[in-house]
Amino acid sequence: MKLASLIGIEAVAFLLIIGETYLFFMAIIPLGPVPHSLAVYTAITLLKVGLTFGLGILWLAVMVSLTRLYVRSRLRTRTPTPSS
């Protein structure tokens, strides 16, 4: 089936979206003790922002890698076009 690989990519995107959204709300947002000083508060906030970006970058990295793999494998077997 021609679409099987794309459906696979779709399924990975689905699992990552669910998993990362859960991690964001359950692990990153409640992170750390109640801050007692501005320095601790700033550090925790920066850590949360960093971890959130990390989740975003993880999603992008996985998607880009899967897409590159897909494009490479398809280009290897692609037939030439009549107008190019």
**E strand or H helix at 21:** helix 4-23
The answer to whether residue 71 forms part of the interface with other proteins (CB under 8 A) is yes
Per-residue binder mask for other proteins (CB under 8 A), 26-55, x = binder: x--xx-------------------------
The answer to whether residue 9 forms part of the interface with other proteins (CB under 8 A) is yes
As a whole number of angstroms, the distance between CA 17 and CA 15 comes to 6
As a whole number of angstroms, the distance between CA 48 and CA 46 comes to 5
In this structure, the number of other CB atoms found within 10 A of the CB of residue 48 comes to: 17
Binding site for other proteins (CB under 8 A): 2-3, 6-7, 9-11, 13-14, 17-18, 21-22, 25-26, 29-30, 60, 63-64, 67, 70-71, 74-75, 78-79, 81-84
